[in-house]
Each structure stands twice: as C-alpha cells, then as structure tokens.
Structure 1
Amino acid sequence: MLRQYELIEKVRSYDPTADEALLNRAYVYAMRMHGAQKRASGDPYFAHPIEVAGILTDYRLDTASIVTALLHDVIEDTPVTREQIETLFGDEVAELVEGVTKLSKLQLTAEHTRQAENLRKFILAISRDVRVLMVKLADRLHNMRTLQHIPSPAKRERIARETLDIYAPLARSIGCHRICTELEELAFEHLNPVARDAISRRLEALRQSQGGAVAVVSGEISTRLEAAGIPARVFGREKGAFSIWRKLQRKTIGFSQLSDIYAFRVIVDGEDDCYRALGVIHRAWPSVPERFKDYISTPKRNNYRSLHTTVVGPRGMRIEMQIRTEAMDRVAEDGVAAHWRYKDKSYGFDAEAQAAAGGRDPLINLRHLVQVLEHGGDAEELVEHAKLEMYLDQVFVFTPKGRLVSLPRGAMSLDFAYAVHTDVGDTCIGVKINGELKPLRTELQNGDVVEVVRGGKPVVPPDWRSLTVTGRARSAIRRHIRQTEKEEFTRLGRATVDQTFERAGKARSQVSLRPALDRFAAPSEDELFESIGRGRVTPTQVLDVVFPGLKAAEREAAVAQRRIEDGKSARLYVRGGGLTPGVSLHFGDCCNPVPGDRIVGILETDGRGLTVHTIDCERLATFEDNEEVWRDLQWTPEAERNTIARARLIATVRNAPGVLGQACTVIGDAGGNIVNLRMRYRQQDFFDVDFDIDVKDARHLTHIAAALRANPSVETVDRAKGEDAAA
C-alpha cells in the first residue's frame, strides 16, 4: 500500500502544481472514514482506495481524479454524504465521487432489461466526464487483482464476466490498452482457467525454444536502423493468453498457425522516421502481402496510431512489427489518459497532445455509444450494439469529397450513410461504390469511395436492419420504424373511429373525446387512436363512452358486418397515400391480394395491425362472429395505376419437352415477371406448376391466366387461394 508521502510524490512527479494539502486531507479522510472496515482478503478496506489512486498516478491523472479515487467508496460504504464531500473538497470532487458512486450501484450483469437500462445510465454518465470512467476502471482493475479472495465462485464468475463484457471493451474504446489487456487476462483466468493454463503452457514451451531468437531479431532490427541513421528503441512483446484465445476462436485456427505470438515494437523520434524505418525493414526482409496497415494516416477511432507490417525475417521467422513514435506509443498504451499533461505551470487536458494524436476527438468512441443510446430501442439490442461498437476493428472509406469515415469491419453501405448523417441514411435509396451502382448489402472495403443516392422522402423498410452492423445505423432505423408505426397506427385508429361513428349516425368532429381519454388513460387523442389501431381499445368502446345513451339500433349499425360493399364507405386506403404494407398493414399470404381485388382488413389481436384479405378468402370465415375486427378497405388510385403486386397461379401442364418453356414465354409476352417457380405432383402425363408472378393488378393477372389457358399444352389455370397461396 502506498504511504501518504509516496502518493503525493508520485503526483508531483508529473504535476508540480498539485494541491498537496487537498491530497493529504483526502488520504487521511479516507483512512478515518473506512476505519476498521475489512476487505475479503482481510486487509484494511482503506488500502483499496489508496491502491486505486496509485494506479491512476501511473496514468498521470489530475489532482481531482486522485482525490476522487481516494474517496470513491465513502458515500456508498460510510455515512458520508455528497454535501459533506462538497464542503470539504469542493464541487468538482463531489461531482466526480457521486458519479463513481452511481456507477458502482449499477449491476451490469442483471437480467437483460435492467442491464440495458443500467448500461444506458453508465455510458451517459462517463461521457459527461471521462475521469469518472478512469476512476471506475482503476477501481475494477484493483478489484480484479484481488478477486481470488472472494469466497463465492458464482460471485467471482459474475464479476469476471462483467469485466470482460463491459469494462475491458470500455477501456479499449478510450484507448487504454494496458488496462484493457490486464482486465481481459484477469477475467480469462477466472472464466476459463483450463484454456488459460493450456495456452500458458504452450507459451512457456515457445519461450524456451524461441526466446533466444527474439533477442537476436531485436538486435538485428536495431543494427539495420542504426546503420540507416535512425535512432530507435526496439523490443519484442508476447501476445497475452486471452488475446491468443480470442484469435483462435475468431479464426478457427490452431496455435501453431498463429504468426504474431511474438511481435516487435520499433519506437522512433518522429513521424517521418516511422516511414523511413518501414523502408529500411522492407528492404532488409520481404514483406508478407496484405499485412501492411497504416494507422498513422488513418488512425483508429480510439486515436491509435502506428504502422503495422509483417515480414519474413531472420531464420525464416514471420515477424509482426509496430513502428511508432514515443507520443504514439503513450497514446496507444494509455489512451485518453495520455492527453493530460503538465505544461507551462499548469496541468490538464492538453490540445497539443490531441493534435499529436492526429487531431481526433479522444472520446469519439464514447460519443458513438451515446448516439446509439439516444435512439433507444430494444433492451437486448441496445447491449448488443453497445458491445459491437466497442469491439469491432475498423475499415476506412471516403466520401466523394474526400472526407474519411471509419466504420467497424463488415460494415455495409447503409452503415456509411447513417455515419454521415441520420437524414442521409433515412433517405438513402441506392449507393455508388467507386463510381459503380452496388447493392446496399455490399460490404465496404478499405479505400472505397462511397456516394449515397438519396430520395426525396424518408422511407426505411423494416428489413434494412439486416443490412447494417453498426449500433448507430440500427438504432436510427429502429427509431424511424417506431415513429412510422406510431403514425400509421394513429391514422388507422382515427379512420376506424370515424367509420364507426358514421355508421352510428354520429360525427367525431362534433363531440369531445375527453371522456374516452379519461376512461382509457390516454394523454392525447393521438395516443388513443394509436391504442385503437393496435387493437388495445375497440372503436365501439370509445363510442359507448362518448355516447353512453346510444340506442341499441344505432350501436348495432356501428358494429354491423360490412364485408360485401363497393368500398365507397372505406376510410382506409392501401398503398400510395395511405397505409404502408409491412408496418401497420400486411397482405395475407392466404390470398395474396392485388390491386383490383375487393379487399377487407382484419385487425390482428397481437398488435401487428391490419391484415388485408380478398373478399372471397377462405380464412375470413374464422372471423365470422367477431364483428369488431373487420375493417373496410379500398385501394388508392395510385395503387390501382402503378403498383406491382405478387400473385400465384397454379397451372396443370402436359409432361412433354418444351412445354414449361412455352408457359414461361406466354407469361413474359403478357407482361408478367416470374419471380419463383415450383413443380409438384409430377406424373407421367401431367404435372402442376406454381408460378409466382409480379403483376399490375387483378385484371392483368386474369389476362395472364387466360393467355395460359389458350395454350393447348396447358390443361387448367387457377389463381392460388388458401393453403396453395401460402405454400
């Protein structure tokens, strides 16, 4: 445990202006408040906050952070209040201590819903002041170093899993490689000791067989660089057990196939020297194709900058090398902590250090996570996307104007569009990659120039979620879909109420819906209409509340079945200017309605909205006695004119050479587009064929069926209904 004077000396070594009196007061206060409290190891509890403070001095954090580390448990574990902390140590320290205390109370491995909500609070808290996260990471690091003293195996596993899933990725997201690596290794030791021991034994054997070679290679690299007049520090490093395990799992390869268990780091004076050193190394030894990465000109999102290359070095060894400056190395190891430094008799976050890191925001990863959280969404998806943003490696692409956009590896065109701006993603209708039109599912590669083709009105199909990998894109798509659903269910509910009122001889515009709002606890009319559209409230319930003295005949008229009508009483319109299939409205796969068919809607009880059926669909008999679910529908004029719909024809044709080709030709000549074809019930003389065809409307489908019947090799043609249409 650090003694009081030792802690202060460590702080003053990098910050001569540190407030010694404040540090002394915090050190003594922490010891006095924790008093006789003990840790699971039997050590005095106050040793823990002192060790946490010591960890932060290794990262050269400011005085307020060190004081926060000393006091981070006093509010939670002692009678001390925030107000007392503020009185004794100031508002800044009180704010930080309170932030760390709130994070400590969040259980991040609880059930999914609570985990997501807590993760939301966690990320928003640390994004306001990253020092809260630095203190929490140091706190978790010391707890993991002493985890073996906790007697409960289940609790040890919970803490280790939480560390691996949340804290290590967060450390990586702000570039703190040293903390991230140690947290991963400590968690791996408790979560999978068998795998860790196996890898450790292999590493020990490798050290014995290749340990001498590492020293020889380091000396050879140094000699080559010295001869070229490039001062450099060269040393080898060994990959950690967890890092090896993750790579074995990800690439499904064997231990012997790993080429980067040993890597060499070359530290030079300046950025120009990085490229000069690279040239010396590539002239000395052949480089391995496609193994060169320039993270200096295109840094990673956590500000990591370095040159990576792999060469076939002395003795035929594959050697992975990282070439960087001292400043780059510090940012690579310490991340955001590298941006605090003493300069000109002051200590704090230094803009020049940020410029040395490429001028990028050192908290950009946390800001990406905040953008994911702003759109909310499903609890499990929230946790999944937050982890995804923290874990994935990157691909670098460009806008047509040359702006660099970094995305997770595996990102597609829509991820790019939403990374540029949410409005760009919402209005995306196509994409050009390197000047060529490409499908939206195209995976982006390093160096691609991506141009988004935009439409006028935001249209976000629900299946777009499968065309994205970033949390930002998926959360934006979910937000747009939720908003569209809300608008459409509100429109659906409003039209249904109007239709019901009219049938009862009433007009909604002439009465107040306040009694219904109170009765169904709806904050507004739109909320009430949305509930009706989703089937949670029926329009007749609203009618009964607004007109409590309604006559029986009027009420019966309001709920009477209106299936066989000309559609003129319909207030709900399908496609074009009305409801959108796939959101609040779905076409029944039992009858495949197409424009021109007389249609009705059935309100689904599971909240999915309306399912559209043709008036003669067999499944409508199921709803014969449930008048409330029927809705009168009509196609919009636009749908009647311009829609391409899908229908199925079942044809029985002769089993003879060329007959199937003739049938396809007939359909094509009639203007139909075959999207699927299936043969069944094949016998010696005849067989049945299902044709799924894109058509303009019911009349077009009838014309195609008539053309098929005119072919002498076609026996029968029928439109598929019921089970045949759904097959």
Structure 2
Amino acid sequence: MIRITDILDKVTENHPDADVDIIDRAYIFSARVHDGQMRLSGEPYLSHPLEVAGILADMKLDSVSIAAGLLHDVIEDTHATEEEIGEIFGHDVLHIVSGVTKLSKLPFNSAQAREAESIRKMLLAMADDIRVILIKLADRLHNMRTLQFHKSAAKQKKIAKETIDIYAPIGARLGIYWIKNELENLSFEFINPEAWQEIRRRVAKDKQDRESYITTVKNYIQRKLDENHLKAEVTGRYKHFYSIHQKMLSQNLSFEEVYDIIAFRIILDTIPHCYEALGLMHSLWRPIAKKFKDYIGMPKPNMYQSLHTTVIGPYGERIEIQIRTHEMDRVAKSGIAAHWSYKEGKVIDENVSKTFAWVQNLVENQEAFRDPDEFLENVRIDLFPDEVYVFTPHGEIKSLPKGATPVDFAYLIHSEVGAQCVGAKVNGRMVPLKYELQTGEIVEVVTSKGHHPSKDWLHFVKTVKARSRIRQWIKTQEKERSLSLGREMCEKAFRKFRLNFNALIKSEEMQSVVESFGFKQTDDLIASVGYGKITPLQIIRKISPKEEVDNAESLFNKVVAKEKKRRDKDGVVVKGMDDILVRFGKCCQPVPGDPIIGYITRGYGVTVHRTTCVNAMKMNPERQIEVEWNQERTDSYPVKILVRSLDRVGLLADVAANITKSGANILSAHTETKENQTVDSYFTVSVQGTEHLTRVVEALKQVRQVLDVKRLG
C-alpha cells in the first residue's frame, strides 16, 4: 500500500512550492472518518483514498486535487458533511468532492436511472472544473484494479461494462491514454474472460522470440538514427490485450494475422527532428500507403501530437512506429493534466479551456434528455473516441465522430444549415447525404430555402446535435398532423349535433371555451383533440350545454356522470379539465406527497404516475398533462413495501403489529424464505401520503432483526 510520505515526496518533486499542509490535513481527516471501515480486499478502507491520491500525484496534479482525492468518498461513506469539508478545507476542495460524490443516497427508481444521474452530475461538475473527472478516473482505476474482490460475477461484469463504455472513452478524450488503456484492459478481463485468457496465453507463448525481435528492430532503428546524428530514445512495447482483441474483431483477423502486436516509439528533441526521423524510417523500410497519420500538423482535439507510420519491416512483417518529441510524449501520457494549471481556484490557461469546450457542449446536449437509456446512449455517442477532421470551404477545421455524414457537418455549422441541407460536395464532387466523411476532406453544404429535415436522416446521422434537432422537427410535424386529425374529428362530431364547426371556431364563444381548457389558441385545443387529450364531446358540452341532443348525447351524459363521480372520489385534480376519468399507475403506485404527472390514455382518461416512474419516462411526452394532489381529500392509497429480515419465530406478527400501530392497513402480504436464512416479506399497505409511509417504514426498521425496508414500484 502506498504511504502518505510517498505522495508528499512526489508532490514536492513536481511542485516545490506546493501547499503540502492541506494534503497532510486531508489524510488525517480521511483516516479519522474512515477508521474501522474495510475494503472487500480485507485492507483498511483508507488504502483506497491513498491509492487514488497516489495516481493523482503521478499525474502531477496540484495540492487541492490530491487533498480532494483523499477526501473523495467521505461525504458518501462516512458521517462527514459538506459543511464540514467546506469549513476545514475550503470551497475548491468541497466543490471537487461534491462533484465526485455519487448519487447513491438519492431514491432513484432504478439502477439505470441512478447511473444516468450520477454521470450527468459528474459531467456538469466536469464542465465547471476538470479536476472532478481526473479524480473520478483515478477512483475508477483503483476500483478496477481491485475488482476481483467483488464476489458477484454479475456485479463485476456490470462495473467493467460501465468502465469501458463511459470512463475509458473519457480518458481518451482527455488524452490520458495510459489510464484509458489500463481501464480497457482491466474491463476486458471481466467482460470476456475467455478471450482475455486466450490472448494472454498466446502472447506469453512466443514472448522470448518477441523480446529478441524487439531488440533486433530497436537496434536497426537506433543505428539509422545514430548514422544521421539524431539523438533519440527508442522503445518497443506490446500492445494491450484489449487493443489486440478489437483489431481481431474489427478486421476479422486471427491472432497470427494481427501484425502490430508490438509497436515502436521514437522520442526526439524537436519537431524538425521528428520529420527527419520519419524520412529515415521510410528510407530504411518501405512505408504502407494510407497508413501514415500526421497528428503533429493536425493535432487531435485532446492535444495529442505524434507521427504514426506503418512500414514493411526487416522480415517482411508490418511494423507500427510512432515518432514524437519529449513534450508530446509527456502530453500523451498525462493528457489534459499536463496542461491544466490553477491559481487560487481559477483556470489560467484559456487555450486549454477552449480546446476542451467539447465538455461544455456535451453537457448542453444532454440536459434535455429525461430517459436514462437515451441519456446514456447519447453520452456514449459524444465520448466516442475515433474522430475525423474535415475542412470548411474557408479552410476551418471541424472535428466530427467517425462515421459522421454531411448532415452532421451541416448541423455542426448551424441548425438552420442542417435543416435546409439538400446535398453536399466533398472535394468539389457531389456525394449522397449518408456519405461517411474522411479526415482531410473539404465539405461544402448545398442548402435550399424552405427545405425541411427528413425522418430517414435519423438512420445515418452520428452526432447528438443532428439527432436532437431532427427529432424536434418530427415532433412539430406530429403536432400539425394532430391538428389536422383534431379538426376532422371535431367537424364530424359537431355535425352529429347539428352544429357548424367551421363557423363556431371563429366565434368569441369558442375563444372562451379555449381559455376554459387552459389554452391560449384555438389550434392548441384542436391539436389536443388529435392527440386524444380532449374529446370533441367535451367541447360541444361547453358550447351548447342546454341543447337537446340525440341518444348519443344521452349516452355521453351517463358516461360523464360516471366519470365525474369517479373523479370526485380521487384525490387528484387534472389541471384545466373537467369530467376526466382518473386512475393510478399500478407500476409505481403514487401516494399524496409524491411528485406526479398524468398521461392521456386513449379510452381510459388520465393515468397518474410518479414523475420518476420508468414506464412513464418511456411514454410519449406529447400525451403528458399536468396533475396535482387534491389537498382537501384525506383518502388512503395502496403502496407496496419490501421488508428484508433475518428469519425468527414471531417475526411476521411483530412486523404486522408495527404496521397497524402506525395507522396503516395491510391489504395483502406474502413472504419468501431465502437460502441464507433471510426472509423477504412483501406487503401492500394503505397510507394517506408520503409522510405516513415514512412513519410506517421507520416503525418497521425498529423491529428486531429487520435488515432493510424499502418502497417498491
């Protein structure tokens, strides 16, 4: 286990004037509040924040970052409070620790929602202070290094999947490739252990021969550089198992066919030396066309710079060679941490801030997404590490994800340009809109006024911005279709009652009807009919309540009376509407005090769900309607709870007695005894609201040998 003295030595070496006192105080505080806590590995919990701080010291981060690294778990896992951290260590440390803290204490409806919200919070804090994500990466790296101590294989796989989907790409986008590579390799071992073991076995099998080969090729390279008086450091290394596996999959190769299991790196003093060394390598061995990339002349957005070339080596095999300066090598290893500098908590390097504007864009793109699945999908799109760099006709470089199309490019320029895009020219030649752009191409968008996006574009666009703008347009179109459908439904219904809809729609009487439903314009009212939120009969009753009608009206009145009677029984008010049938979602069972939302269900009136209900989140937002609890009513509502406890005689009687003492009625109950001598007891109880439910839960937690009580749904 790393010691605090090792960390302090590293910090002093990197920053001679650093304030090491704040690190020392953070260590003492962390040791005190984590005292007695253990990791799954059997080590004291303090080993984790120490290892995280050690990784941050290796990244040459400042004292505030390392102090925050030592404290990153204290709010979540100990009795320490945010106020305490702020008071003792200052605003900067508190801000970073709050950003890193997960949202596991909040009552999310599902693990997926919790994961989405945790990542959303992390991104928001990251846009404000990049040190948040650097600590989060260090935290995740040490957790992955100790993942084997998790007893659940399913949990190991889930954590590894999240790491490879979210955290490794963030590492790549930040240019910290050693963290990215290690996270991918550690995740690969748990996601696909069979493939990992097979590659490990094959690499180990010929290790002696490969090491001899590395020495031979390094000698060839070094000799060529020495002959031309170029001072350089030459290294050869094995590629990571995950990288080898990905190449085998993407190019459908066997292990023997993967040529660049070993890569070579030449590190020199200056940029001119890099290009000179490149020329020497191409004179020594024949280069392969289209396998040369100049990231010095055109750096990656995360500041990575290097020359990459692939040549035919001394034995007729392919060799990948990277050529860079010492400074470029430092940036390649540390990424943004090599450039990020702070003074009194403020960023002083504006160029770095501009370069990482993608973080802010990513946050802005994600704020609109409520569905956890959609949010996570779009974060993965934004973090996709492979990118292409194209030019505008004026020579400006634009960065897009690999596979991006002219439509993505058009939306990147401006939303209006994207909407009016009818064609595109690449290097002066017309291409289809779904053409995949390549690095170095000049892209020109052809627009036409009055043109609109196509639903088909959703099948090939790659950027979140293009996707969200196209969906926005589709929703607008759906409203227009609903308007047309609503008008048609109203005309038919009005004719049955011998009313002229087209004449009435322009009358002052209709305007008062529109306002009575809570709308400003007549079109909004008619569109609501098309959506199914309001029936034409409801409008007719507002216009001519005393009109004699036929049997259909009589039948309608019976239905309305039944609905009204039912509505009066319910403790929910539908804003702006009368005579609406209300029912509660069985999936989430809302009770007074829960934030709620209503959804129009054709033929069933309004169904009320909790706002956090996963099923509600998947419903069409256009059918959403505002509802609120009726404060005047004090009815009881059913809610499901799970009581997890150790098995003992008289347990069920004690649990039932405490529910009754809390003023709740048991509607149903059943128990399941587990193999580990625990009992899961499922109850449906009637309560008057969230406060009443809280009292019931607290009472149950007092029962002897009850381990956990939680609300279901």
TM-score when scaled to structure 1? 0.70
Q: For residues 92 and 495 of structure 1, do their structure 2 counterparts lie closer, same or farther at Cα, with a shift above 3 Å needed?
A: farther
Give yes or no for the alignment of 1:30 onto 2:30.
Answer: yes
Q: Deviations over 1:609-635 (max 9, x none)?
A: xxxxxxxxxxxxxxxxxxxxxxxxxxx
Give yes or no for the alignment of 1:67 onto 2:67.
Answer: yes
What SS does structure 2 have at the residue aligned with 1:180? helix
Among 410, 419, 424, the residue aligned to 2:417: 424
Q: Deviations over 1:152-172 (max 9, x none)?
A: 222222212221222112211
Give yes or no for the alignment of 1:351 onto 2:344.
Answer: no
Correspondence for 2:457: 464
Question: Which runs of structure 2 are paired with 1:301-700 in the superposition (5 Å)?
Answer: 301-340=301-340, 351=349, 361-374=354-367, 376=369, 380-457=373-450, 459-486=452-479, 488-490=481-483, 493=486, 503=500, 506-507=504-505, 509-511=507-509, 528-545=525-542, 547-552=544-549
Q: For residues 131 and 347 of structure 1, do their structure 2 counterparts lie closer, same or farther at Cα, with a shift above 3 Å needed?
A: closer
- Provide the C-alpha distance between the structure 2 equivalents of 1:31 and 1:91, rounded to a whole number of angstroms: 21
- Provide the C-alpha distance between the structure 2 equivalents of 1:107 and 1:202, rounded to a whole number of angstroms: 47
- Provide the C-alpha distance between the structure 2 equivalents of 1:124 and 1:454, rounded to a whole number of angstroms: 35
- Provide the C-alpha distance between the structure 2 equivalents of 1:203 and 1:266, rounded to a whole number of angstroms: 23
What SS does structure 1 have at the residue aligned with 2:101? helix
Q: For residues 112 and 45 of structure 1, do their structure 2 counterparts lie closer, same or farther at Cα, with a shift above 3 Å needed?
A: closer
The AA in structure 2 aligned to 1:453 is: V
Give yes or no for the alignment of 1:156 onto 2:153.
Answer: no
Q: Is the contact between residue 103 and residue 117 of structure 2 (CA under 8 Å) also seen in structure 1?
A: no
Give yes or no for the alignment of 1:289 onto 2:289.
Answer: yes
Q: Is the contact between residue 339 and residue 349 of structure 1 (CA under 8 Å) also seen in structure 2?
A: no
Give how far 1:300 is off: 2.2
- Provide the C-alpha distance between the structure 1 equivalents of 2:443 and 2:167, rounded to a whole number of angstroms: 34
Structure 2: 5+ residue stretches without partners: 557-600, 604-713
What SS does structure 2 have at the residue aligned with 1:314? coil
- Provide the C-alpha distance between the structure 1 equivalents of 2:545 and 2:215, rounded to a whole number of angstroms: 92
Q: Is the contact between residue 375 and residue 479 of structure 1 (CA under 8 Å) also seen in structure 2?
A: no
Q: Is the contact between residue 14 and residue 60 of structure 1 (CA under 8 Å) also seen in structure 2?
A: yes
Q: For residues 246 and 278 of structure 1, do their structure 2 counterparts lie closer, same or farther at Cα, with a shift above 3 Å needed?
A: same
RMSD: 3.3
Give yes or no for the alignment of 1:268 onto 2:271.
Answer: no
Query: More deviation in 285-294 or 476-485?
Result: 476-485
Give how far 1:109 is off: 13
Give how far 1:471 is off: 2.7
Query: More deviation in 474-483 or 59-68?
Result: 474-483
Give yes or no for the alignment of 1:46 onto 2:39.
Answer: no
What SS does structure 2 have at the residue aligned with 1:430? strand
- Provide the C-alpha distance between the structure 2 equivalents of 1:167 and 1:381, rounded to a whole number of angstroms: 18
The AA in structure 1 aligned to 2:249 is: Q
Q: For residues 429 and 173 of structure 1, do their structure 2 counterparts lie closer, same or farther at Cα, with a shift above 3 Å needed?
A: same
Give how far 1:107 is off: 11
Q: For residues 550 and 237 of structure 1, do their structure 2 counterparts lie closer, same or farther at Cα, with a shift above 3 Å needed?
A: farther
Q: Deviations over 1:180-236 (max 9, x none)?
A: 111111111122221111101111123222211101211221221122222211100
TM-score when scaled to structure 2? 0.71
- Provide the C-alpha distance between the structure 1 equivalents of 2:311 and 2:347, rounded to a whole number of angstroms: 38
Q: For residues 253 and 241 of structure 1, do their structure 2 counterparts lie closer, same or farther at Cα, with a shift above 3 Å needed?
A: same
Q: Is the contact between residue 127 and residue 363 of structure 2 (CA under 8 Å) also seen in structure 1?
A: yes
Give how far 1:54 is off: 0.9
Q: Is the contact between residue 174 and residue 302 of structure 2 (CA under 8 Å) also seen in structure 1?
A: yes
- Provide the C-alpha distance between the structure 1 equivalents of 2:356 and 2:300, rounded to a whole number of angstroms: 12
Q: For residues 526 and 86 of structure 1, do their structure 2 counterparts lie closer, same or farther at Cα, with a shift above 3 Å needed?
A: farther
- Provide the C-alpha distance between the structure 2 equivalents of 1:278 and 1:458, rounded to a whole number of angstroms: 49
What SS does structure 2 have at the residue aligned with 1:283? helix
What SS does structure 2 have at the residue aligned with 1:340? coil
Correspondence for 1:205: 205
Q: For residues 191 and 467 of structure 1, do their structure 2 counterparts lie closer, same or farther at Cα, with a shift above 3 Å needed?
A: closer
Query: More deviation in 398-407 or 480-489?
Result: 480-489
Q: Is the contact between residue 266 and residue 323 of structure 1 (CA under 8 Å) also seen in structure 2?
A: yes
Q: How many residues end up aligned between the 2 structures? A: 554
Correspondence for 1:217: 217
Give yes or no for the alignment of 1:167 onto 2:170.
Answer: no
- Provide the C-alpha distance between the structure 2 equivalents of 1:59 and 1:130, rounded to a whole number of angstroms: 13
Q: For residues 339 and 262 of structure 1, do their structure 2 counterparts lie closer, same or farther at Cα, with a shift above 3 Å needed?
A: same
Q: Is the contact between residue 385 and residue 401 of structure 2 (CA under 8 Å) also seen in structure 1?
A: yes
Give how far 1:402 is off: 0.8
- Provide the C-alpha distance between the structure 2 equivalents of 1:128 and 1:480, rounded to a whole number of angstroms: 31
Correspondence for 2:614: none
Identity value in percent: 43
Q: For residues 346 and 186 of structure 1, do their structure 2 counterparts lie closer, same or farther at Cα, with a shift above 3 Å needed?
A: same
Query: More deviation in 509-518 or 462-471?
Result: 509-518
- Provide the C-alpha distance between the structure 2 equivalents of 1:393 and 1:2, rounded to a whole number of angstroms: 35
Question: Which runs of structure 2 are paired with 1:230-245 in the superposition (5 Å)?
Answer: 230-245=230-245
- Provide the C-alpha distance between the structure 2 equivalents of 1:412 and 1:244, rounded to a whole number of angstroms: 28
- Provide the C-alpha distance between the structure 2 equivalents of 1:8 and 1:299, rounded to a whole number of angstroms: 34
- Provide the C-alpha distance between the structure 1 equivalents of 2:521 and 2:180, rounded to a whole number of angstroms: 49
Query: More deviation in 526-535 or 423-432?
Result: 526-535
The AA in structure 2 aligned to 1:234 is: V
Give how far 1:472 is off: 2.8
Q: Is the contact between residue 422 and residue 447 of structure 2 (CA under 8 Å) also seen in structure 1?
A: yes
Q: Deviations over 1:295-345 (max 9, x none)?
A: 112222322211110111223332100111122112222211111359xx9
The AA in structure 2 aligned to 1:4 is: I
Give yes or no for the alignment of 1:299 onto 2:321.
Answer: no
Give how far 1:136 is off: 0.9
Q: For residues 95 and 546 of structure 1, do their structure 2 counterparts lie closer, same or farther at Cα, with a shift above 3 Å needed?
A: farther
Q: Deviations over 1:476-510 (max 9, x none)?
A: 22233224434553575468658866626744641
Q: Is the contact between residue 175 and residue 332 of structure 1 (CA under 8 Å) also seen in structure 2?
A: yes
Give yes or no for the alignment of 1:20 onto 2:20.
Answer: yes
The AA in structure 1 aligned to 2:529 is: I
The AA in structure 1 aligned to 2:431 is: K
- Provide the C-alpha distance between the structure 2 equivalents of 1:362 and 1:109, rounded to a whole number of angstroms: 37
Correspondence for 1:620: none
Q: For residues 459 and 118 of structure 1, do their structure 2 counterparts lie closer, same or farther at Cα, with a shift above 3 Å needed?
A: farther
What SS does structure 1 have at the residue aligned with 2:319? strand
What SS does structure 2 have at the residue aligned with 1:236? strand
Q: For residues 336 and 110 of structure 1, do their structure 2 counterparts lie closer, same or farther at Cα, with a shift above 3 Å needed?
A: farther
Structure 1: 5+ residue stretches without partners: 560-603, 607-727
Q: Deviations over 1:78-136 (max 9, x none)?
A: 11111111111111111111111146669999666665555444433322222111111
Give how far 1:178 is off: 0.9
Q: Deviations over 1:233-265 (max 9, x none)?
A: 110011111111111111111111111110101
Give how far 1:13 is off: 1.6
- Provide the C-alpha distance between the structure 2 equivalents of 1:490 and 1:80, rounded to a whole number of angstroms: 56
Correspondence for 2:259: 259
Correspondence for 1:718: none
Q: Is the contact between residue 306 and residue 323 of structure 1 (CA under 8 Å) also seen in structure 2?
A: yes
Q: Is the contact between residue 423 and residue 430 of structure 2 (CA under 8 Å) also seen in structure 1?
A: yes
- Provide the C-alpha distance between the structure 2 equivalents of 1:247 and 1:105, rounded to a whole number of angstroms: 41
The AA in structure 1 aligned to 2:436 is: E
Query: More deviation in 281-290 or 372-381?
Result: 372-381
Q: Is the contact between residue 411 and residue 417 of structure 2 (CA under 8 Å) also seen in structure 1?
A: yes
Give how far 1:282 is off: 0.7
The AA in structure 2 aligned to 1:125 is: A
